[in-house]
Amino acid sequence: MEKIWFITGSSRGLGRSLTAAVLAKGDKVAATARNPAQLKDFEDQYPGQLLAIQLDVTNQEQINAAIKNTIQHFGRIDVLVNNAGFGITGAVEAFTNEQVSSQLDTNLRAPIAITRAVLPYMRKQRSGHILQISSIGGRVGSGGVSVYQAAKFGLSGFSEGLAQEVAPLGIKVIVIEPGGFRTDWAGDSMTYAKEIEGYEDTVGKRAEFFKSGDFVPLGDPDKAAKVMVDIVEHPQPPLHLILGSEGLVIVKASETAKMAELEKWAEVSRSTDHDEAENFFETEQGKAYLQLKK
């Protein structure tokens, strides 16, 4: 059966590749963009399959209208893809308040708001998929992109909790975590904080690398789009899906280091338990608590 997709940020980058793949499969798309005229080629090529919608994802009224318009036009939403976003590079203290707010508004608050607006329809359907386009930067911190990663870490935590809430309703949540892909993320879509003294060998080197044009990511956005189209057909999709070998290498190394640190400091961690907590996790109450946390 054909699916109805709602995709934010459809006019460029990974969102455009995904929109193209969904349309080629024969599904229908409510494709949102700040400038929906950039989607006209899709409208011409796939008449009746695409509904182009103007959407500023930070505007709650526009979010509500876009979702209502989609439901009226297609009758339902089967797959929500929170893709719209952008990167920013700089030292933490160098960002303006406006730059911080813009990152959190677009990359964290907007996906939460759109998810919340779509959920009542999926709940009534007792079905749906929610794909949150995060990043390996939502799993591993890197100097120079801390505020961007704060949003992505937040999106991951939100999605993990959400997945447990909606699983009994037939709704599946998948956090997509790309490494570097050949989009304009580090190009035209990248913004920068002002340069300040003291960060030349950390943040400065990352900014120079992005600006130099030497950053050639390994990931192919068209291949990533195909994987995302396929994953919603899987009966048991993963909660987290890393895309790209770069992401696999970075996340594996990070997880190994984190586990080693956890074990090194485990006795210190346990030393803060109340005396009454000894052997707690061997009790029925403790086992039930762990089950609730899974």
Provide the pLDDT for residue 189. Answer: 64
* Domain that residue 275 falls in: 250-294
- The Cα 220–Cα 179 span in angstroms is 10
Tell me: do 178 and 80 sit in the same domain: yes
Residues with Cβ within 8 Å of 39's Cβ and at least 6 positions away in sequence, in order, are 10, 11, 19, 31, 33, 50, 52
| pLDDT (mean) for 242-251 | 89
Residue with tokens 């086992």: 287
Tell me: do 9 and 93 sit in the same domain: yes
Predicted confidence (pLDDT) at residue 142 exceeds the cutoff of 90: no
Residue with tokens 């949150």: 132
Tell me: do 159 and 293 sit in the same domain: no
The CA distances from residue 245 to 37, 166, 241, in Å, are: 34, 30, 12
For 165, the token pair is: 């809430």
Tell me: do 23 and 67 sit in the same domain: yes
Tell me: do 159 and 76 sit in the same domain: yes
Tell me: do 183 and 215 sit in the same domain: yes
Q: Domain count of the chain?
A: 2
Provide the pLDDT for residue 283. Answer: 81
Q: What is the CATH number of the domain that holds 148?
A: 3.40.50.720
- Active site annotation includes 146: no
Tell me: do 177 and 279 sit in the same domain: no
- Confidence class for position 216, pLDDT limits 50, 70, 90: low
- Confidence class for position 214, pLDDT limits 50, 70, 90: low
- Active site annotation includes 148: yes
Tell me: do 78 and 200 sit in the same domain: yes
Provide the pLDDT for residue 294. Answer: 62
> Which 8-state DSSP code applies to residue 38?
G
The CA distances from residue 253 to 21, 140, 213, in Å, are: 32, 10, 26
Tell me: do 31 and 12 sit in the same domain: yes
- Active site annotation includes 205: no
Provide the pLDDT for residue 285. Answer: 80
Kindly report the pTM of this predicted structure: 0.90
Predicted confidence (pLDDT) at residue 108 exceeds the cutoff of 60: yes
Predicted confidence (pLDDT) at residue 277 exceeds the cutoff of 90: no
Helices (H) and strands (E) in the chain, counts: 11, 9
Tell me: do 174 and 286 sit in the same domain: no
| Active-site entry in 28, 121, 135, 148 | 148
Percentage of the chain surpassing pLDDT 70?
93
The phi, psi pair for 33, rounded to 5°, reads -165, 160
| Active-site entry in 134, 135, 156, 159 | 134
- Please write the tens of the pLDDT for every residue from 56-100: 999 999 999 999 999 999 999 999 999 998 888 899 999 999 999
| Active-site entry in 135, 152, 159, 199 | 152
DSSP string, 149-194: HHHHHHHHHHHHHHHHHHGGGTEEEEEEEE-SBSSSTTTTT-EEPP
- Confidence class for position 111, pLDDT limits 50, 70, 90: very high
Nearest to 135 by CA among 101, 159, 102: 159
Tell me: do 258 and 155 sit in the same domain: no
Provide the pLDDT for residue 87. Answer: 85
Tell me: do 234 and 278 sit in the same domain: no
SS3 at position 246: helix
